[in-house]
Chains A and B, each alone.
Chain A
Amino acid sequence: MGRFHRHSDGTVHDHGHHGHARDVGDHSGYTDTGISRVAVLEDILSENDRVADVNRRDFATAGVRTVNVMSAPGAGKTTLLKRTLAALQDKLRIGVLEGDIATSLDADELDGLGAAVSLVNTSAGFGGECHLDAVMVRSGLSRLPLNDLDLVIIENVGNLVCPAEFDVGEHAKTMVYAVTEGEEKPLKYPVMFRAAEVVVVNKIDLLPHLDFELDRFLDNLAGVNPTARVIRTSARTGEGVDEWCEWLAGIGGIGGAPPPPHSF
């Protein structure tokens, strides 16, 4: 049931205490109803964000850069990743943290491509978590030799909603979007499209066969996220993958642009 759980005697606790000062409420004003109000004023995801900060510090200490790759199921993350590893394995030391609800299918696909792969099955979370959060990423990092890597690629669980909400300590959030998904997706799932620094528009080899209007999609994307960089690819044919790899290599510290500044 995850970190928040119940014991057979009915007590509930979590194993993630942070030792911050406890607010024990306003005891000066006992009301007739016996109810007092405790001010919390904490972000819903603050616990996650604290762990994300710890991950960030570990990345900084190891001198490794991290990129979170998100998408809907079936957008082509794993196929793109296979091409990416093949193209970059002689240039960068890459680790992959593979988020999957229950299987190792994607991690198996990446075997033998020169990357250290750590699989995080999220089904241990309550209800089979549909995203990677900072704690899950932390658990997966322990199986990667961070000090010997230049770049860690986090392949998130395929889902257009949840992964965008959770900071895992990455340097850049990216997403893979397939042209088969329709033009309106940025308006329907704005949180992820807004969070992404790079949007890889994948499966462009299918454009001649679809009614999809690329310009309308790009307008919708620009409305939600005017600064997103768009990279058009076909992970199947390899078209455009070089541009993506060049951007990744820049993040990883070689070639192209220098790594972007970050806030820690």
Chain B
Amino acid sequence: MSASYPLVVRCDLPVNVGTVDATKAVHVHELALCEAIARTVLDRVEHRRVTRVALRIGHFRQVVPDALTFSWELLTTDTDLEGSELEVEHVPATVECSECGAFTTLQLPVLVCGTCGSHTVTLRTGNEFLIVSCDVAEEVRDGPVPPPQ
């Protein structure tokens, strides 16, 4: 990978957008996450070609979807995962209030009930960090498909 890539460098503020040599040290949080995703997926697909990887990521995770998909392209070039699409389902952050029972969808990471203002709340969604599934290309076979083993 000697080519230059436009890259969003996001690990430390401020966000810098620039062109960097991908072989140089670049601190991208999403790149480390993509490495982990790639290892897990490759472990599951038995060298079949992967066309799509579905993720579910909660609102309270510090992940920038664009940086994630860009890192994925960068990392999977010339691998079995090349060309696969990374699909990110965003899960809103919701809390359940222990005082009044109301559910609140949060934007800011402050854990507070939107109905009664109580801070005694439990996070119900928003922390997800899941690889849901991946789609793989099957070999074309002649004759009847064998029964599942």
Which residues does A use to contact B, with CB under 8 Å?
Answer: 2-4, 6, 10, 12-14, 16-18, 22-25, 27-28, 30, 34-48, 72-73, 101-102, 123, 125-131, 133, 159-162, 164-165, 186-191, 194, 220, 222-224, 226
Contacts and interface: CB of A to CB of B under 8 A. Distances in A.
Given A37-B133, A40-B44, A47-B39, 19 more contacts: A22-B43, A25-B136, A28-B148, A38-B44, A41-B132, A48-B36, A73-B12, A126-B35, A127-B27, A127-B28, A127-B31, A128-B27, A129-B27, A130-B11, A130-B29, A161-B12, A161-B29, A190-B109, A223-B111
Contacts of A129: 27, 32
B32 A40 contact: no
B19 to A, nearest CB: 15
Interface string B22-45: 000111110111011111111111
A44 B43 contact: no
A121 to B, nearest CB: 11
A17 B43 contact: yes
Given A27-B145, A128-B27, A162-B32, A42 B62 contact: no
B17 interface: no
Interface of B: 10-13, 25-29, 31-33, 35-46, 51, 55, 60-62, 75, 78-81, 108-112, 119, 129-140, 145, 148
Nearest to B35: A4
Contact of A47 (B40, B134, B136, B145): B40
